[in-house]
Each structure stands twice: as C-alpha cells, then as structure tokens.
Structure 1
Amino acid sequence: MERIDVRADTGQQGQWNVAQEGGDLTPRERALIRNEFMVRFGQAPSLASGILVKRWATGPNKGQPKPGTVIQGMLDRGLMELRDDGGHWLRARFTEAGFAALRLMAKDARVLPPGDYQHLIDELRTV
C-alpha cells in the first residue's frame, strides 16, 4: 500500500514523491540508528556494515537470529534484511527502502545532526 507524503514536495505543481508504506522511521528506530552509528573512539561506523544481531545460544531456537524489537520491526517493514554468512554474529543491513528512509531522516538536522553524523550523511549521498 502506498501513501502520499506531503513533506516530499518535488517543487512542481501537482507532483509529489510517493513514499512506500513504512518509509518513515519511528522515534525508537531513529534512536537506535543514532546510537549504533555514532562515532566511538574516533571510529566512524559505516552504514554498509549494518547492525549486529545476536543468535539464540540455547533452547529450541538455538542458532536462530535474535533481533531486538526495534530491528524486528524494521525487518518486518522491509527496511532491513538479515544475511547469514555462517558466522557467530549476524548483521542486519539496510535495504533500498531502508536507505530511502535514512535519506528522509537525514533531511532534518534536528533528527540527525550534521556535526555528529556527517559521515552518515556523506555515505547516504554515495549509496
């Protein structure tokens, strides 16, 4: 299902960009992204590296992915995907729809301050 995003005016009368359902990120998703991709110890993490996801260590789900509720919500909405390379850790990586949602997030300097997250804004320009 598609909906019209009135904030995405193309500048041409009568034309609007159409955002996919779920294109906007929730406050918890934005907070997770800011937390996961902030500069730590002088190292700027890359969006391409994704977000670490644990696996179940014991029980009936042993070895299965164990994403948190926020990441699971983004997986369900098609903003992220899990790729299993057989290693101990999984990485949730952004899909094209996820990158579109990140670009929308980056347009608001209050949500993604350029002083702290310029490395993400630069990476979004090249992806």
Structure 2
Amino acid sequence: MKKVSTIIVKDMSRLGRNYLMVGQYVEIEFPKHNVRFIAISDNVDSAKGMNDLLPIHNLMNEWYSRDISKKVRTMIRQKGNSGQSIASKLPYGYYNTPEDKQTWLIDESAANVVRRIFDLYLNQSFGMYQ
C-alpha cells in the first residue's frame, strides 16, 4: 500500500542538513518508491528531472548549518562569560524593564512564593516533588 506520493519542502535544507542522507533519499529512496520530490525555492522537481549540481547544493547547506551553529554557540558562550543572561525566559520571580533587558529585577509578589518554596525545601525537609 502506497502512503506517500509527493514530498514538498520549502528548500533542500528543510529535508535535511546531512548532504549524504539527503542525497540517499532524493537520488535512491524516493525514486525506488516512486515518490515525487519538490523543493520550491531551489526549483527542484523530480518529475522534471534532477539537477546535476544538487549534491553540491546539499553540501553547501550542510556547511552553512554547521557554520551558523558554531557562530551561535560562540555568541552564547561570550554572553555567558561576560556575565550577560543567556536564558530565553527569565526564571519565575524575576522581571526586566523594557529599557534594560539584561538587568533582572525581583518580582516581589512572586518572591514570597519562591522564599516559601526554599523554606519548605531547606528547613522543613520537603523534597523536590512535594
């Protein structure tokens, strides 16, 4: 029973970043199962024939994703080393002002709850799950 007849992606990088695996699917697996593959912005349609430069394009996608990943990790490490927050959301009990997103201020209404939780844990032998 055939379950998939066509796979449509925005571009080749959406199928995968590993150029060997993308090539395996696009050039071997999809044709073996008569699955049409379309990558819209890369102008790829297996029904019209495959571009000979497709493997090189896939390799460039993999290199690009590795490069971006390294840059993001470096930026996060630099922010952390300089004392800036790397959290995407502030912990419960803190807030920041629109003027300065890097300065954390204590939310006094939530602070009482946080203090109570710490007291229960440290002084009254309540475990983490209690």
TM-score of Structure 1 vs Structure 2, range by shorter chain: under 0.3
Q: Which has the higher contact order (CA 8 A, sep 6+)?
A: 1
Q: Which has the larger radius of gyration?
A: 2
TM-score (structure 2 length as normaliser): 0.20
Richer in strand (by share):
1
- Relative to the length of structure 1, the TM-score reads 0.20
Which structure's residues are more often helix, by fraction?
Answer: 2
